[in-house]
Structure formats: structure tokens, C-alpha cells
Structure 1
Amino acid sequence: MNDFPPADAAPHAAPTPARLPIAFTAFHDLHAQRYTDYAFAHLGEAGMVRDLVDDVFVALADHWDRVLAQPRPAAYAWALLRRVVEAECARREEHLALIEEAAFAYALIERAKRLLALVDGSTVDDLGVGISVARAIQKLPGRQHDVVVLRFLAGYPPTHIAEVMGIEEATVRSLISQARTRLQTRLAPRRTLTSGRPHDEE
């Protein structure tokens, strides 16, 4: 997470704590960095991300009673963040894609090494592979996509992912397992293309 912007770096951050319920302030303090990291993984622009996350927390503050009335407030808030990030990606014609420009793919090389090691035992060692990994992650469905971004790109442990998404830790681990299976399928041709040998050849 070292290259992700700090959530408190914004010149105007979420509403003034003195005017907000203690529960909201605690919620903000717990999740602001996680929201920032998730949004940054998709948008890659620190200033835009800080403004976007601020807007999400302002909306949550304005309807805090409604948030607390939900069976899973964290899941309700996460769904709002995800919709806002999705809308911004769609506005930029990226449709929830991780940024595929060369600069992002190059940065992804370091962050994706552990993920690829878990998926097929190989490593990321060139820009083209970085782009292929970004595209494979992009195509993961909903919550599988989210847990992969939070776990392998932002570096959060399953317990923190469960907190921020408002789901059970066992669900997080199951989603990671499902995502790995999908990625294995999507990335199988990559080894043939980059190494000149079949995927199952050792």
C-alpha cells in the first residue's frame, strides 16, 4: 500500500467531526483509507480519489440515520462507494476496468507478484504481463473483483476486507478462492505466450 495516497491528505476532508455523531466519526476513521485505496486502484489519480471519497462520506453523513437502520451498515456504505467508483469509471469509459495504461501496468508488476504466485506459481516480469493481469482482474465479477483489489493490490488482510465490505471473513476467503480459480482459467494462456510452453508443463 506504500504508493497509495493517504486518506487524510485532502485539503478538505469529510465533514467536521465536531458536528457529526461519534459513531460516524469512528466509521470514517476506520474505513477512509480503505475506501481511498480501493478507489485509487481503479482511478489512479490521487486528487480525484480524495474528492470522490470525501463525497461518499458526505453523503453517508447526510443520511447517517438511514445507514444505521440497515441490517449491515458497512455493506450499505460499501455499495455506495462502489457505485460512485463505477460511475466515475464509466464516465471515463473504463467501465470498472483497472487502468491499463503502461504506467499503471508497470506499477502493477510489483503488487501482483504474490497474486500470480498463488494462482499459477509464476511471476510478473514484463509490462505486457502486467497489462494481461490488469485485464483479468477487471473481468472478475462484483465482489470477487473487490476482494482481489483490496487483498492483493491494496494489501489488506481478510479481516479488514470483511469489515469494510460488511461481510463475513469466511465469505471473503471464499471469494478469494473463487477469484483465484477464475484467474487461473483466464491467465492460463499467458504462460504459453510468455514462456513458449503449455500451462501445465513444469
Structure 2
Amino acid sequence: MPPNHFPTGHPTSSAVDPVIADLGFAAFAERNRPRYTRYAKARLSSVARSTAVVEATLVSAHDNWQWLMSQPCPAAEVWEELRRQVDRRGERAIAQDPVLAVLYRRLPDAAADSVVLCRRLGFPLAEAAELMGVEPSAVEAALAAARRVLPQLVVVEAPLRHR
């Protein structure tokens, strides 16, 4: 398993009851696992690889849950970890999907992720923003930038849904 980007061994200033923390993580994982898996499958060449990436990300998040809860936006931290895990294992998939290759070569990661989530996978704008741990306006701006840079790729994808 590749290393994660979460700091380890850094206690938080106020420890949360472990039972409550585990329940919070369980709810987070239950809500996000299917969505993370859809994203990973869209970017990786195999179901097994995408499942492994999501599980590695969630194990890392669980191991660092106390630290994550002390961050301004835990969802953004976990999304960054998922993206790192996908990037490490996605070289062959990018080569097999020329649209993804262009997206991730020509756009910043957040813009390319916004296109994948909203245009390719059909997530509503607000749901994509929640998943990435950003404001909906950031996803909207990323999609607008992507349309300017790659209009032929972005416009032909699924329509944008705000809700």
C-alpha cells in the first residue's frame, strides 16, 4: 500500500470518544465509499484496482480520523488522498482513455476531477463539491475553466445538474 499524505502520530488537542469517532467514520465511509468507487472506476483500468484504491484511502482516513476531525474540511483531505492513490495507480488507465489523458494533462487536478464527476459521472454540482470538500462555486469555476481550455471535451459530456 502506498504511503498516505495524512500526518501520523500527531495527537489532536481534544480527543474524541473512540466510539463516537468510529461511528462518525463509519457514517462518512458508508456515504462516500460508493461515490469514491465510481470516481476511481472512471479513472482506473480495473475494478479490482479501483476497489483497492478506495479501500486504501478509507483505511488511511480511519487511521487518521482524529487528525482529520481537527482539519477545516476533512472531506477535502480525504479527497486529496483518494486522488493521490488514484494517480499512483492510474498510469495505464490514462493511456487507455485519451479523454482522461487530455483532461489531466491540460487541466489542474481539481478542474479535471470536476469534469469527471459532473460531466462523465453525472454528479450534481453540489454533490461533486461536497465530495471534493469545496464550495459549489469552486466546482462551477473549474468547469467554466475546463470549457474554455477544452470545449470539445467538456461540452459533449453529460449536462450539468445543480442539485
Name the SS of the counterpart of 2:150 in structure 1.
Answer: helix
Work out whether residues 38 and 150 of structure 1, in 8 Å CA contact, stay in contact via their aligned partners in 2. yes
What RMSD over aligned residues (CA atoms) do the two structures have, in Å? 2.2
Equivalent residue number for residue 28 of structure 2: 27
- Which of the pair has more CA radius of gyration? 1
Query: How far off its partner does 1:44 sit?
Result: 2.5
> Given residue 62 of structure 1, which amino acid in structure 2 is its aligned partner?
D
Letter matched to residue 55 of structure 2: D
Output the CA distance in 2 between the equivalents of 1:68 and 1:141: 27
What residue identity is the alignment partner of 1:148? V
The alignment covers a number of residue pairs equal to 134
Match 1:155 to one of 122, 127, 130: 122
Greater relative contact order: 1 or 2 (C-alpha under 8 angstroms, separation 6 or more)?
Answer: 2
Of 113, 138, 149, which aligns to 2:104? 138
1:36 Cα deviation after fit: 0.9
Question: Could you say which residue in structure 2 is the equivalent of 1:7?
Answer: none
Deviations 1:81-121 (A, max 9, x none): 111111112xx4x5xxx5343xx5xxxxxxxxxxxxxxxxx
1:40 corresponds to? 41
Q: Residue 20 of structure 1: CA displacement?
A: 6.5
Identical columns (%): 32
Distance 1:87 1:67, change over 3 A: same
Alignment of 1:164-175 (within 5 A): 164-175=131-142
SS at match of 1:21: helix
The 1:144–1:19 alpha-carbon spacing in structure 2 relative to 1, beyond 3 Å, is same
Instruction: After the TM superposition, list the runs of 4 or more consecutive aligned residues in structure 1 that deviate by more than 4 angstroms.
Output: none
What is the distance in 2 between the residues matched to 1:19 and 1:79?
A: 24
Look up the match of 1:65. Answer: 66
2:144 matched residue in structure 1 = 177
Partners of 1:19 and 1:49 in 2: CA distance: 29
Tell me which residue corresponds to 1:76: 77
Amino acid at match of 1:82: R
TM-score (norm 2): 0.74
Q: Which whole-Å CA distance do the structure 1 matches of 2:100 and 2:138 have between them? A: 23
Mapped to 2, the partners of 1:163 and 1:48 lie a distance apart of: 24
**How do residues 89-100 of structure 1 correspond to structure 2 at under 5 angstroms?**
89=90, 92=91, 94=92, 99-100=94-95
Q: Which runs of 5+ in 1 are unaligned?
A: 1-17, 105-130, 189-202
Contact 1:158 1:172 in 2 (8 A): yes
Which structure 2 residue ranges, 5 or more long, are not aligned? 1-18, 154-163
3-state SS of paired residue (1:99): helix
Cα distance in 1 between the residues matched to 2:139 and 2:146: 10
